[in-house]
């Protein structure tokens, strides 16, 4: 099973890349998420918000590979504990499909991406900045992996 993150937004601050790299190096190569970045759609006076979101949706959907199970990061999704993430990750591994997590742009995911998603996952009821979402994901994947390995989980 491969884990891939497709995120709208490029040129993250250096601290984001540093933190994601730190958690990636703690994981075995077989469990390290691949990050695929897409540019944010241009905001211009001639485009409506719906058109902007639709553009980002279509570009995200175009990156989804065959046999990838899609999980949308969505504030209205279901909240998971780290233990639930570890259990979900084990389920994904047993099913054998690759997993693609979608992080929308500044205006979130549109209806096409949400329809494509098998699950919707909310990291928080709070609005989180995109750079922090990436770091949080990498850190939680590391914690979930440690749980799978039987390491003590620090709460």
Residue numbers of the domain that contains 88: 3-148
Tell me if 154 is assigned to some domain.
Answer: no
Which pTM was predicted?
A: 0.94
Q: What is the count of structural domains for the chain?
A: 1
Tell me if 155 is assigned to some domain.
Answer: no
Q: Phi/psi at 87 (nearest 5 deg)?
A: -65, -45
Which token pair is 45? 């006076």
Digitized pLDDT (tens) for each residue of the chain, 155 residues in all: 899 999 999 999 999 999 999 999 999 998 999 999 999 998 877 889 999 999 999 999 999 999 999 999 999 999 999 999 999 999 999 998 899 999 999 899 999 999 999 999 999 999 889 899 999 999 999 999 999 999 876 66
For residue 109, the domain's CATH number is 3.40.1280.10
Strand order in the sheet with 119-122: 34-38, 3-8, 98-103, 68-79, 119-122
Tell me if 87 is assigned to some domain.
Answer: yes
Contact 99, 2 (CB under 8 A): yes
Q: Hey, is 75 helix, strand or coil? A: strand
Distance CA 140, CA 144 (A): 6
């Amino acid at each position: 099973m491969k884990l891939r993150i497709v995120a709208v937004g490029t040129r993250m601050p250096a601290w984001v890349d540093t933190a994601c790299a730190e958690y990636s190096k703690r994981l075995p190569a077989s469990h390290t998420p691949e990050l695929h970045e897409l540019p944010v759609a241009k905001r211009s006076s001639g485009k409506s918000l719906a058109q902007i979101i639709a553009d980002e949706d279509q570009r995200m959907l175009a990156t989804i590979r065959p046999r990838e199970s899609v999980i949308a990061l969505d504030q209205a999704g279901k909240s998971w504990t780290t233990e639930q993430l570890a259990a979900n990750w084990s389920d994904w591994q047993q099913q054998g499909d690759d997993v693609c997590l979608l992080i929308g742009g500044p205006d979130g995911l549109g209806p096409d991406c949400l329809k494509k998603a098998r699950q919707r996952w909310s990291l928080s009821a709070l609005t989180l900045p995109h750079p922090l979402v990436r770091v949080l994901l990498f850190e939680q994947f590391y914690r979930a992996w440690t749980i799978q390995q039987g390491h003590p989980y620090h709460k």
